[in-house]
Amino acid sequence: MPLSLAKMRRQYTLDGLDEAQAPDDPMVLFGLWMQQARDTESPPVEANSMALATVDGQGRPHCRILLLKGFSSEGFSFFGNYDSAKGQDLAANPWAAMTFFWPGLERQVRIEGVVGKLAPALSDAYFASRSVASRLGAWASPQSRPLDDRATLEILLAQTGQHFADQPVPRPEHWGGYCLRPERLEFWQGRADRLHDRLDYRRQAGVWQRTRLAP
């Protein structure tokens, strides 16, 4: 019997989110929620996984799952190939959005802002922390470009391994970090009967303004 998606629904039961619980700085609240997600979510869910949405030069949106690798008052950091599809999107239009979803906590966070490249020293430091296999993969993979088959990728990886045999694997210039500097964050807490809590923060003249949105 075919599955009816229309009948799939979940009743949210956890505590809500009100203004009394919410700090003036949304980055403080994000840090709290991220820590709680790390403490409670279990594999295969990765608390730092996010959907990153970009827009290309023709105005077409694209979305994929990435891992957040850091956040601070400056913004949200992630890494990848500058020549990839997302890298080309960000070069054409630096505005992007990311969404975190933590089903165990019945929460999501939406973030919007402008993306810029991290300083080379920060990208070097993160790249050096990766495994040798991952570093070789960053050199070998022509990310987002067509491949004839899996064997082609494995040949490229083997050639890269031979090239860097018995020597350090430095960060390629086409690979590095990005930082999304937020202009908006929305915190969503599931509530019963779809009457969810939504607190929306927007930066205005350098100051965060908070508003409750209807579910």
Rounded to a whole number, what is the largest CA-CA distance in the chain? 61
In 12-131, where does DSSP find H-type helix?
A: 26-40, 85-92, 120-129
Spell out the per-residue pLDDT of the chain, length 215, in tens. 567 888 787 888 888 998 988 999 999 999 999 999 999 988 778 999 999 999 999 999 999 999 999 999 999 999 999 999 999 999 999 999 999 999 999 999 999 999 999 999 999 999 999 999 999 999 999 999 999 999 999 999 999 999 999 899 999 999 999 999 999 999 999 999 999 999 999 999 999 999 999 99
CA distance 141 to 18: 46
Q: What confidence score (pLDDT) does residue 1 get?
A: 54
| Three-class secondary structure of residue 203 per DSSP | strand
Q: Could you tell me if residue 55 is left (phi over 0), alpha (psi between -120 and 50 degrees) or otherwise beta? A: beta
Q: Single out the residue of 132, 123, 111 nearest to residue 182, CA to CA.
A: 111
Annotated binding site for substrate: 9-12, 69, 126, 130, 134, 194-196
Backbone angles phi, psi at 22, to 5 degrees: -100, 125
Q: How far is CA 146 from CA 39, 68, 74, 143, in A?
A: 39, 26, 35, 9
Structural domains in the chain, CATH included, are: 13-130+173-212 (2.30.110.10)
What CA–CA distance (Å, rounded) separates 185 from 99?
A: 10
**Six token digits for residue 56:** 């290309």
Could you list the residues known to form a binding site, using ranges: 9-12, 64-69, 86, 108, 126, 130, 134, 143-144, 188, 194-196, 198
The pTM score is: 0.92
Alpha-carbon distances of 56 from 85, 93, 111, 176, rounded to whole Å: 9, 7, 19, 20
Helix (H) or strand (E) holding 50: strand 49-55
How confident is the model at residue 2, as a pLDDT?
65
Residue 155 DSSP class = H
Length of the chain in terms of residues written:
215
Tally of CA atoms within 13 A in the half-sphere of 108 that contains its CB = 14
* Contact between 99 and 132 (Cβ < 8 Å): no
Binding-site residues for FMN sit at 64-69, 86, 108, 143-144, 188, 198
Residue 57 token pair: 């030069």
